[in-house]
Amino acid sequence: MSKYVEAVLFDLDGTLAATMEPWDCCWARYAAAHGHIWTDFDRHSTHGHGDWAQHLARVCGVDAVDRVIADCVEAMIDQVEAGHIELLPGVDALLAAATSRAVTGVVSASPRRFVAATLDYFGLRRSLQVVIAREDQPHTKPHPQPWLHAAALLSVEPNASVAVEDSVAGIRSAHAAGMRVLAIPSWAPALSPSEATLAEYLAPDVGHAQRWLSSILTQPVHTITH
């Protein structure tokens, strides 16, 4: 049996918006204020992970994870509203390609307040049929549950969905959910060769991703299983 791609689901941070370096700087400043030097190990433990605040609280010796989240989200929303964060080049065309032939959504590991503020600032919400944030499921990336929840809300099968991701955690999460993965690595840490194989297509930039997505949205694809 064959079917067309019915849904395209996007990560937000590092995939649509150039937020990963600002997030990393935010976490590094928070850590420094609490006497911790931010390292590559910390980056690997937080990039694309919904549990970044737990890691930050642990290394900083802070008990109140909710306070860590609130402080960092407030700082990042200030960055967005001050115009210091931009959409990645080519994102408008990528979204247009997706919305022309499929239902679309955002599946993010970031807190809902930040996700909502970012989507509203860039006027992206009107293009989306579903938005999943960190608080919406008990498990977050790299667990597959956020992607599965989005597919269920859209009434589409995971294997009829494309997940667009940039991080190792997000790629693992979407692959485990049984989705076709379009990877656009945008920041550290880099994908290992084995991690790169989890993606159906590894795009060097958003422009290549848009062309690949446009091509598969117009062709029937065989149902895949994992």
For the chain, give every domain's residue range.
Answer: 2-18+86-222, 20-81
Per the structure block, which two tokens stand in for 140? 């977050």
**Angle of helix 65-81 versus helix 20-33 axis, rounded to 10:** 130
Cβ pair 178, 197 in contact under 8 A: no
Q: Which CATH superfamily is domain 2-18+86-222 in?
A: HAD superfamily/HAD-like (3.40.50.1000)
pTM of the model: 0.91
pLDDT string in tens for the chain (226-residue length): 337 899 999 999 999 999 999 999 999 999 999 999 999 999 888 887 888 999 999 999 999 999 999 999 999 999 999 999 999 999 999 999 999 999 999 999 999 999 999 999 999 999 999 999 999 989 999 999 999 999 999 999 999 999 999 998 999 999 999 999 999 987 656 788 888 899 999 999 999 999 999 999 987 765 444 3
Q: Which residues pair with 209 in a beta bridge?
A: none
Per the structure block, which two tokens stand in for 173? 């999460």
Q: Which amino acid is at 118?
A: T
